Chains A and B, each alone.
Chain A
């Protein structure tokens, strides 16, 4: 909580340096077929009120029944966050009136959440990795949606989302910059996607953040915080934090005090605005939901879920570094999205010698494939070059059939025209020439044609590069560069 102050993260005010302190409450929609307490579908994009059961509409006498899959997903997520799984948790009612809340209360977990304290390790480029503590994770119901633009004088209600399961993941106030907060959310989303417990799609509202921001002098106790509600993109979150920190510093430097309040972020104006102050805050009158018995899990149940947990990004990264000697940064890029890691693993799975070429394959996935996809705005799922094709290209380099330079041409052909890389190399005569005799002839020809340069090279060995270029050019790039290098050195007497 009170990690050493990092000077690079401080914000300069008119009266000195300030440190911003950030904690996040992430609402992540649980990936499940049906809602937390009803059998209605959770499908996105149905007609308004198409996925509403009697329970979701809070008809008289309806009762909630817990969806076991949502419980399993919450436990998996807790395990993925290296967190304490509470074998006994309790559902409470959070009471308030709003037209998108049919029951007049949200079923949530207040005093006894299903998941307790955990940790997330976050990497930032060019910085040491840092750890964000998880305070708790609990299950709760989502609300419906109000539609204000359907009628001139009325508001319509769509209850499709009403009752959909959310995981509220509360961090400790462990972040000290907008960059850190963004990196944390990105990492958390990656973990959720690896686990398959939340699709992390912020555009669909599957992941929303409430951002708690306060500022203080370095080393001072925490300041009064403001909560920015419902930020729905990582970029906006960064903007909201920067704006809010500046706002609070401005008030404090003018001798004012920060009022604890709830604010919202206006993405158009790029600023936060007060919603309601502490005095107007709801009294939610939490109490245990008498319709639901406490949720009791056995350790064996948790252990079984743990045994089937997929490999998570941190473990995968460590394995890539250990098994294929990848650079930490490269391994980090590969594991940052489950799709990237899956693609790389698919390539690995088809290599003839992955111990030898695993690192080469990583370079090709990151530099050639991802580089190209980024440039053209494509996604891995629709990549024109498949893992099988890329593995073949890497194999061809690895076994010396083609040079790296030829491989780039081959990649271009496969990208635009498709086809089996091995066949392309055969039919288009792209094989690397390793025949000493053939290369020697070219080398001899070039030395003979350039006696002056051969003379200069004896005095200035770097000149050999010019000769290599000439040989490669005249061989159409197919000569093995190492062979060419060795031959030239001998012939030029270097």
Chain B
């Protein structure tokens, strides 16, 4: 870590404005860090040349006094976001050589505001995974290690590359996508901040789809303020995505540091699950105490349908995925493995192109949508979804401003340690996060402490629809109390 890579995004912004250093210098420092950190496997594509050009352009804009809100800020982009002229694979072999002729709306907004792209970040294949182990580019290594151990740990997933890159100070922030926890869980595993905004807050246009009704883009950064700064640039209505919402984007940064006095924080009893480590239980209580000390009121709340969320999620998400991934058929773009006829070409292409977890979810999704099973699975899961949503609505209707929960049921685990025999072991990682996607609500993961082995743990704040501001205010309180978390550099 150099002086320049140790800065927060807000500090770097200040330094650029004050001409303490140039965007090119800032970018070069990060390019160097990226190159040094290849052992983490966080980047699947480094775009150093483009980054330098973008940085120089930012310097010119800054010199003319036209620098945007993110002028010269080097970022990493999850490989699920289409980037024009830059290979975009969703970390799948089926898109191994795919170069989109278009730019996703979210990344276009970032570049419009002056940000610099360092490269594309590793993720679970098509964002399906909770450990970044399903990537065709191989697993990402968490920059954190257990004390006294050099065992490689997962960074969480699916946005594992984004979380690892930000935690290891390879970039000042990164984009992620969150379908069931893919931003919040890796943020918690790597000791950084991650925000999944309200469904419809960010455009999905140009983001490789996993489960359309759940997918939402969001930012990673090392501080709550930095996360707020990034979200302001990413969010906004997009006529090309009819599920995006046409309402003004607030100045999220202004919410950071706002008083939380009088806010009512719900503590849901259903999140106290069997077998939850005592240190997570303790951290959760601690988080509540911090908020209370800052003037918030804690109330116990009930979200009775919580226990059905995970099974319902693993019906809805694969169902949508099975349909969304049908376009990868070898006909128009991406990999093609020939066959004797069209059916065999499809089979060969998709069997070779998709990894085991993606194939599993396509099979599950195809099954639950099949005639005769649709009502029992998909329709029922949608009803559960309505009930989960109602749980939250009733809670908010009683005056609760936000809900505090643990972000994950454990700290980061070892690569290869989970899900080998039973995929459900892996799916359980999302137990605290999927409800938020099912209800379309905003969720913020904030680092709050460490476990007994020195690994970071995070808390989750769940907000009312479009009240990302409230979450940033609350998150800042936790960050102030808990401090920031930086892994010792071993790579």
**Contacts A60-B82, A97-B346 known; A157 to B240 CB distance under 8 Å?**
no
CB of B366 within 8 A of CB of A285, answer yes
- The proximity string for A residues 83-95 relative to B, scoring 1 for CB distances below 8 Å and 0 otherwise, is 0000000000101
Complex Cα–Cα for A442 and B135 (A): 108
B205 at the interface (CB under 8 A from A): yes
- The proximity string for B residues 65-94 relative to A, scoring 1 for CB distances below 8 Å and 0 otherwise, is 000000000000000011000001010000
Complex Cα–Cα for A54 and B240 (A): 12
Please give the distance in Å from B473's CB to the nearest CB on chain A: 31
- The proximity string for B residues 296-340 relative to A, scoring 1 for CB distances below 8 Å and 0 otherwise, is 000000000000000000000001101101110101110000000
Complex Cα–Cα for A300 and B462 (A): 39
B254 at the interface (CB under 8 A from A): no
CB of A61 within 8 A of CB of B206, answer yes
Which listed residue, B82, B323, B333, B378, touches A105 by the CB 8 Å rule?
A: B323
Which residue of the partner chain A has the closest CB to B238? A63
Which residue of the partner chain A has the closest CB to B371? A283
CB of B204 within 8 A of CB of A285, answer no
Contact partners of A65 in chain B: CB under 8 A: 239-242
CB of B327 within 8 A of CB of A93, answer no
Which residue of the partner chain A has the closest CB to B208? A60
Which listed residue, A157, A283, A291, touches B331 by the CB 8 Å rule?
A: A157
CB of B240 within 8 A of CB of A63, answer yes
Which residue of the partner chain A has the closest CB to B370? A283
B427 at the interface (CB under 8 A from A): no
Which residue of the partner chain B has the closest CB to A98? B342
Complex Cα–Cα for A61 and B238 (A): 14
Which listed residue, A59, A62, A103, touches B326 by the CB 8 Å rule?
A: A103
**Contacts A61-B205, A63-B242, A285-B369 known; A97 to B326 CB distance under 8 Å?**
yes
- The proximity string for A residues 263-305 relative to B, scoring 1 for CB distances below 8 Å and 0 otherwise, is 0000000000000000000010111001111000000000000
**Contacts A63-B205, A287-B319 known; A293 to B88 CB distance under 8 Å?**
no
CB of A103 within 8 A of CB of B327, answer yes
- The proximity string for B residues 349-376 relative to A, scoring 1 for CB distances below 8 Å and 0 otherwise, is 0000000000000000010011100100
Complex Cα–Cα for A104 and B102 (A): 21
B207 at the interface (CB under 8 A from A): yes
Interface of B is mostly: loop
CB of A104 within 8 A of CB of B239, answer no
9 tightest Cβ-Cβ pairs between the two chains A and B: A104-B326, A290-B213, A285-B369, A290-B212, A58-B327, A61-B206, A60-B208, A283-B371, A61-B207
A66 at the interface (CB under 8 A from B): yes
A102 at the interface (CB under 8 A from B): yes
CB of A61 within 8 A of CB of B331, answer no
Please give the distance in Å from B419's CB to the nearest CB on chain A: 26
Which residue of the partner chain A has the closest CB to B319? A287
Contact partners of A104 in chain B: CB under 8 A: 323, 325-327, 329
Which residue of the partner chain B has the closest CB to A95? B323
Please give the distance in Å from A90's CB to the nearest CB on chain B: 13
CB of A99 within 8 A of CB of B342, answer yes
Selected A-B contacts with CB under 8 Å, 5 pairs: A60-B209, A61-B209, A99-B342, A157-B332, A287-B374
CB of B323 within 8 A of CB of A93, answer yes
Which listed residue, B208, B211, B239, B322, touches A61 by the CB 8 Å rule?
A: B208
Please give the distance in Å from B184's CB to the nearest CB on chain A: 21
Which listed residue, A60, A95, A157, A283, touches B98 by the CB 8 Å rule?
A: A60
- The proximity string for B residues 212-252 relative to A, scoring 1 for CB distances below 8 Å and 0 otherwise, is 11000000000000000000000000011111000000000
Complex Cα–Cα for A63 and B105 (A): 12
CB of B204 within 8 A of CB of A61, answer yes
Which residue of the partner chain B has the closest CB to A287? B369
Complex Cα–Cα for A58 and B329 (A): 11
A424 at the interface (CB under 8 A from B): no
A57 at the interface (CB under 8 A from B): yes
Contact partners of B90 in chain A: CB under 8 A: 60
Contact partners of A102 in chain B: CB under 8 A: 327, 331-332
Which listed residue, A60, A99, A291, A293, touches B100 by the CB 8 Å rule?
A: A60
B104 at the interface (CB under 8 A from A): yes
Please give the distance in Å from A434's CB to the nearest CB on chain B: 72
Which residue of the partner chain A has the closest CB to B206? A61
A2-49, CB < 8 A from B? none
CB of B212 within 8 A of CB of A59, answer no
Which residue of the partner chain B has the closest CB to A100? B331
B95 at the interface (CB under 8 A from A): yes
Most chain A CB neighbours (cut-off 10 Å) among B100, B241, B323, B378 = B323
Please give the distance in Å from A407's CB to the nearest CB on chain B: 61
Please give the distance in Å from A276's CB to the nearest CB on chain B: 14
**Contacts A60-B100, A66-B242 known; A287 to B323 CB distance under 8 Å?**
yes
Which residue of the partner chain B has the closest CB to A157? B331
Please give the distance in Å from A460's CB to the nearest CB on chain B: 84
With A63-B204, A99-B331, A291-B209 known, 7 other A-B pairs at CB within 8 A are A61-B104, A63-B240, A102-B327, A102-B332, A157-B331, A287-B323, A290-B212
Which residue of the partner chain B has the closest CB to A155? B342
CB of A95 within 8 A of CB of B243, answer no
